[in-house]
Amino acid sequence: MNMPDWRSVVAKDYDMQNTDGPIRLYFYPINQFYHHNLEQLARWADYLAIEAGLPVCRMVRNREGRYDTEVNGESWVLMNSPLQTDRLERSAGAMLAEFHARTSGVDLASFPESTGQSRTENLEKRLDTLEKKYDVCQNEGQRSSFEQVFVDHFPYFSGCAENAIQMAVDESINSPNAEPLCIGHDQFVDYERFPIDNPALWVVDDRSRDLAEGLRTLAWQSVRSDPELTAKAFLDDYEARFPLSEPAIAKMYGRLLYPLTFIECCERYFTGSVNANERDLELVLRQGEEKVRDQERLLSFLADRYKNRFYAPEWLSRPL
């Protein structure tokens, strides 16, 4: 992928005279956008930046009135990023709540790439695939170092995944379409570290997706054995703006319980993913095992925080 000389392309294909506010431009490849409805993405970006005051990259039209511009045989979108000084004096939880509340009720028809409707089937398929790899590895006389760690810990993580899948199935029966969808993130990390939102990385889903990944990150980043303290502050700030419903709580919990990091790491190893270094993947696997205690503490904290509002697996609803 050849990055275009943005100065010459902008001068040729864009009229920046009517651009509001400060200009800080960069090109983003269109093939890395999760959703492809550029018009709708741009409208939401403008709304969130102007009306909600959130630090969101805005998409710039070219002289032809389009957001996609072909350069060197590839399509790009020109983004206008907010300045670092535009960071809001809000916590990660408060910013995420504002983002979700402002976009609640987004029209799914405009973003057909969303996989929300087939999520449970996808979780089951991924687990089944790894279970077959587990059976093969168990029967092998010699295993790589990674495969030995995988065999040692798969029973625990597959149990977590099965509990999570059952929660998802039960929730789909008990509360179908209980909450409107909103705009979230393909892989939400942490607003404190990455405060600027990029529309290319947005995904239409329910809000439990971002909440679960935000909490998962807190557990992984915890240097002490009390990730629940950070989680409490995160959720308190979030719910002060956008309180959680019972269906949202159950979905958040189930998504956090599903061992996504373990499964993604194993998938990269067994598919021979390009740029996947076996030793690096083994390190991630071992780190995941080391974080089990923090993860369980966090899940038990959530079960207690929201007790009587959803059903948590019994082995996690008791204090550790």
Q: Do the beta carbons of residue 199 and residue 59 sit within 8 Å?
A: yes
Confidence bin at 6 (pLDDT 50/70/90): confident
> Per-residue pLDDT tens for 171-200?
888 877 678 999 999 989 777 777 789 999
What burial letters (b/e) apply to 110-140, b meaning 16+ CB within 10 Å?
Answer: ebeebeeeebbeebeebbeebeebbeebeee
More confident residue, 298 or 219: 298
Locus of tokens 């995944």? 161
Q: What one-character-per-residue DSSP string does 249-318 give?
A: HHHHHHHHHS-HHHHHHHHHHHTT-TT--HHHHHHHHHHHHHTHHHHHHHHHHHHHHTTTTSPPPGGGSS
> Per-residue pLDDT tens for 128-138?
999 999 999 99
d(CA 227, CA 28): 35
Locus of tokens 């449970």? 120
Q: What's the confidence (pLDDT) of residue 222?
A: 65
More confident residue, 85 or 30: 30
Confidence bin at 17 (pLDDT 50/70/90): confident
| Number of residues that this document lists for the chain | 320
Residue 247 has pLDDT above 90, yes or no: yes
Q: What's the confidence (pLDDT) of residue 1?
A: 57
Q: Decide: helix, strand or coil at residue 124.
A: helix
Q: What's the confidence (pLDDT) of residue 106?
A: 94
Residue 274 has pLDDT above 70, yes or no: no
Q: Do the beta carbons of residue 60 and residue 14 sit within 8 Å?
A: yes
Q: What's the confidence (pLDDT) of residue 127?
A: 95
Mean pLDDT, range 269-280, rounded to an integer: 79
Give residue limits of the domains in the chain.
Answer: 6-87, 110-316
Q: What's the confidence (pLDDT) of residue 86?
A: 44
Mean pLDDT, range 87-96, rounded to an integer: 80
Q: What is the pTM of this model?
A: 0.91
Question: Which of 179, 177, 175, 157 is CA-nearest to residue 167?
Answer: 175
Superfamily of domain 110-316: Aminoglycoside phosphotransferase (APH), C-terminal lobe (3.90.1200.10)
* Direct distance between the N- and C-terminal alpha carbons of the chain, in angstroms, rounded to an integer: 50
Query: 115: which residues sit within 8 A by CB, 6+ positions away?
Result: 122
Q: Do the beta carbons of residue 20 and residue 73 sit within 8 Å?
A: no
Q: Do the beta carbons of residue 181 and residue 29 sit within 8 Å?
A: no
Q: What's the confidence (pLDDT) of residue 118?
A: 63
Q: 110-316: same fold as 6-87?
A: no
> Per-residue pLDDT tens for 279-294?
899 999 998 888 898 8
d(CA 175, CA 170): 8
- State in words which class domain 6-87 has: alpha beta
| Continuous H helices in 31-118 | 38-50, 92-103
DSSP 8-state code for residue 5:
-
Question: Which of 290, 291, 264, 265 is CA-nearest to residue 279?
Answer: 265
